[in-house]
Chain A
């Protein structure tokens, strides 16, 4: 699974990055790299079962009081 995933990522980078280098689009390349790294961390994290931060949980924690308040005034 890890090899398959790595092969996919190498293919994606080989597909996109050379054109960006050739056109000297360095900012685009940097943005591509940052997104790719985040994507790779979460993909490998899924395969290796790593406990990565889940954005949904943080959002639930922040907005639960608002949701409770809405429920209270509407019940």
Chain B
């Protein structure tokens, strides 16, 4: 099969350029570290807090990933292929928590589960004097579990690529549903589960919203504190490099756990729909599970933020509609999505219909910018730009570059996944009928890849709208976005005012998700 395709040089070149850009922050970090000398490294390595923070980050990354997958796997299975009541609605609702950023979910965890929080209020009459301590590992893991849809989306996509015939065969041969699930479905989902867990784990170690609200001294929290400090800024570089190492460890763990068995699963060249699996009386258990998820991860944020809003209105807060911020978010998201889709479509097409030289290596490199926490990417760029490319400093362009670096794998991954559904036969047929490669791509392939392109653009759009550290650190002066507005308002306890941009962010995501479903149908 491989030798039937010729190496696409254009595709390889484009992929290489993109990969090169994604590695820039890491290179800048290493160079900066070398220039600064050993001093900051010594300080960081000698500090007691470093070891503790390292352990906390590793624990946080692993646990968050595992918990998210444990939540996402049943949710994906129930909503995608079973007769659970309301499965179709759940398919959208279950993804919605993705629109709740960690700098909001941290507040939700505090309001709902901390001392004197809602849960404590309910339990106190029954003699519970002390609420469990949310300012701890479990509190932060809970706050970051809002990111479980990252895993859910991976698993859903893999499920729809998996051949349902295997399941049918297993059942026909007498395997019970549990056995069939364990023996046939689970192996096929092992790779996406691993990837999904990795995405959540990386999100967790790079987070600085939930960790700072819940005062959990992970590495990213230290990086954030050092950046804000007048004297210890030099320590940002060694701490960031350490964080990069943690990211690498997570990637390696996932490669070891998830890499091998993926081969056993049969991936379809042609999309084949799953039959609806009947759960019997278990369908209500499934329903209760998914409803609880929606209640906790969608209901609670709406409740907490709604409470902020009504309390503020009762006390006479004057609300403002942050239209400017919303427009900035939309423009940033739109421009980044457009650029990324255009930049990624070439390599993605080459990957599907041609052959990209060194594809695996290039693929891995594009992951560097995504694996590095947003705050690290932003900080690595800001000091370089101030010194050497000052005209770019505090500009819209720099922010978009940062988003391209951060979110390339998001666009590339979705496009490649989506293009899997466009059969290679289509290209061959068009070529046989005399169309040039370019013409075939333009008139046949791209139109049939429209759903994938739409999905990729939406994914990037939502990620950019939510993104905080880069917008905060690299953005132009007075270019507030929904995310920076929410952050600064909540930081200074203007909760009622913050409610409006939070609802706007949820609204944008909901519209995006529904549009995405339409597109991919």
- Say whether A and B bind each other: no
A residues at B contact (CB < 8 Å): none
Interface residues of B (CB under 8 A from A): none
